[in-house]
Structure 1
Amino acid sequence: MIMAFDRYVAICNPLRYAAIMTNTMVIKLTVSAWGVAFVLVGILLGLTVRLNRCRSMIMNPYCDNASLFKLSCESVYINNVYGLTFTVVLFTASIGSIVLTYTKITVVCLTSKNKTLNSKALKTCSTHLVVYLIMVFSGMSLIALHRFPEYADYRKLSSILFHIIPGSLNPIIYGMQSKEVRKFLSKLFEPKKILP
């Protein structure tokens, strides 16, 4: 959400960027993002810690909150309601802010006749959007698969891929924007000329 806001300011208010995105604003945005995450996750952990456990085997490759719920013999209804509400609110806020900012960016690009601005905006926003969509798809598939016990093997694979795919693709997707990286890769994969 912060990256979407940053791109919005950079593209829609380029002359005021330095005045809007000050060090103070960046600190406020960062603290608010981390603060909201700590509060929401703290509540989730508090709800999880209160549960008694009658099982001890976690069926996931790593210990996540949903796996801890499955160890309990008590009702986890409150945990499920809070967890799903938490997920829906975060995804709605995230997707909503990105749709809003990218819609405004699109309007600016469509009304502007500056092809350089439009090209730069498209490159910047498309990479961010691709990385974001990969992360959202990976996260949503993992959350959905936790609801279907018959797909436990797919959930295990999905949970591993959730930690590998987005993190591995980030440097590739953002790196392809760099002319130096593109030039290096084109030389690397360029067919070699063989002298007769």
Structure 2
Amino acid sequence: MENPYNTSSVLVWHHLRIPPERAAVTFLFASLSYTVILFCNLLLILTIVLSKNLRQPMHLFLLNMPVNDLLGSSAFFLQLLKELLSDSGRLWYPACVTQAFFIHIYAAGTIFILTAMAYDRYVAICLPLKYGAVMTHGHVMRIIAAIWLACLLLIGVLFWLLLRLPRCRSAVHNIYCDHPTLLALVCADTTLNQVYGLLLVAVTQLLANGIILYTYLRILLACFRSGRSDTKAKALQTCATHLFVFLLLECLGLFTIISYRVRQLPDSFRSFMGSSTLIFPPSLNPIVYGIRTKEIRDNIVHFFRSKMIKSCVRNLRSSSS
């Protein structure tokens, strides 16, 4: 009797069929975007790691943001660039699962990191006298460890539930792999998977939105009660920066989730919304958190100035000799 299930490790990538005249432009745009994301996020990581004056809890939380952004953008762009070069229209199933796993780790990690940063700002602004006692190095490390462990556990269960089900389809109708895309390949009862996925989104969103809403409201109240104008300005700038990044991610993520529920939407729109979540936040976060943060901006400027001075000194010595 013929096996009704598809056990092949090769998937067909239908949606990534780009006309030859557009392939070079698409590859150039994707390469440039990934290069910018790599440069900006690596620069932010190196600045925080190599600068001895950037050891505050805020900077330790911030260090996880570019690491997480590189995780998500690399999972997206490396597979995309590989396909644009080969133009095979084929995708290895384990590579698809790996890409989807790290993209979901990126999505969960971003929400948890932003929530931890909001908590840090709340303690710093609303409880300044207790900040040193509360936000100790050990406490910060435990929060960071909890963030990554929660991401691995929650997303690990999501994909364990997926991989236990048999596949009978091989067509991928998305520009990248994610959990809904892989779930569409399954020919079995996926009720448990869908319930867990929706429950995971609902709980994390309620938890993150609740904490962030509470902390920012308390911060705003503390700002308006403060008589110091510089304290108000700095706190409001911090709130505005965090809220901008959080709302951008929330809007893109919400549209992506809705696009999977509305079948009438074209695949191109669904792919655009999903890829925007993996392109815009990793591109904007280093600018928003790096350039707009005075301590980090000063360290970046000092780094490039010292490199330029050393280069000029070497050139003068070589020319004089």
User: Structure 1 length normalisation: TM-score?
Assistant: 0.87
Match of 2:282 in 1: 167
Report the secondary structure of 1:150's partner residue. coil
* Residue 147 to residue 10, structure 1, CA distance change in 2 (3 Å): same
Match of 2:196 in 1: 82
Provide the rounded CA distance (Å) in 1 between the counterparts of 2:260 and 2:169. 17
Provide the rounded CA distance (Å) in 2 between the counterparts of 1:174 and 1:32. 22
Provide the rounded CA distance (Å) in 1 between the counterparts of 2:130 and 2:223. 17
Provide the rounded CA distance (Å) in 2 between the counterparts of 1:31 and 1:12. 25
Provide the rounded CA distance (Å) in 1 between the counterparts of 2:291 and 2:138. 31
Of 80-89 and 13-22, more deviation after overlay is shown by: 13-22
Provide the rounded CA distance (Å) in 2 between the counterparts of 1:166 and 1:58. 25
Match of 1:143 in 2: 257
Match of 2:292 in 1: 177
Alignment counterpart, residue 92 of structure 1, candidates 180, 187, 206: 206
Provide the rounded CA distance (Å) in 1 between the counterparts of 2:197 and 2:148. 18
User: Structure 2 length normalisation: TM-score?
Assistant: 0.54
CA offsets 1:14-59 (integer angstroms, 9 cap, x no match): 2222221111111111111112211111110111001111111111
* Residue 178 to residue 83, structure 1, CA distance change in 2 (3 Å): closer
One-letter amino acid of the counterpart of residue 50, structure 1: R
Is 2:116 the partner of 1:116? Answer: no
Is 2:263 the partner of 1:157? Answer: no
Alignment counterpart, residue 158 of structure 2, candidates 19, 44, 49: 44
Is 2:167 the partner of 1:53? Answer: yes
CA offsets 1:96-120 (integer angstroms, 9 cap, x no match): 0000111111111121111111101
CA offsets 1:38-95 (integer angstroms, 9 cap, x no match): 1111110111001111111111111111111100111211111110110010011000
Report the secondary structure of 2:171's partner residue. coil
Given that 1:123 and 1:177 are in contact with CA atoms closer than 8 Å, whether structure 2 keeps it comes out as: no
CA offsets 1:136-161 (integer angstroms, 9 cap, x no match): 11111111111122222211111111
Match of 1:191 in 2: none
One-letter amino acid of the counterpart of residue 238, structure 2: T
Provide the rounded CA distance (Å) in 2 between the counterparts of 1:148 and 1:59. 15
Provide the rounded CA distance (Å) in 2 between the counterparts of 1:18 and 1:82. 39
One-letter amino acid of the counterpart of residue 118, structure 2: A
Match of 1:194 in 2: none
Q: CA deviation at 1:175?
A: 4.2
Match of 2:219 in 1: 105
Report the secondary structure of 2:168's partner residue. coil
Which structure 2 residue ranges, 5 or more long, are not aligned?
1-114, 302-321
Match of 1:15 in 2: 129
Of 140-149 and 87-96, more deviation after overlay is shown by: 140-149
Of 152-161 and 79-88, more deviation after overlay is shown by: 152-161
- Say how many residue pairs are matched: 182
Provide the rounded CA distance (Å) in 1 between the counterparts of 2:216 and 2:189. 42
Alignment counterpart, residue 69 of structure 1, candidates 183, 187, 205: 183
Given that 1:53 and 1:72 are in contact with CA atoms closer than 8 Å, whether structure 2 keeps it comes out as: yes
Which structure 1 residue ranges, 5 or more long, are not aligned?
185-196
One-letter amino acid of the counterpart of residue 135, structure 1: L
One-letter amino acid of the counterpart of residue 98, structure 1: I
Identical residues among aligned pairs (%): 39
CA offsets 1:152-178 (integer angstroms, 9 cap, x no match): 221111111110011111123234525
Match of 2:107 in 1: none
Report the secondary structure of 1:149's partner residue. coil
Of 169-178 and 19-28, more deviation after overlay is shown by: 169-178
Provide the rounded CA distance (Å) in 2 between the counterparts of 1:50 and 1:150. 29
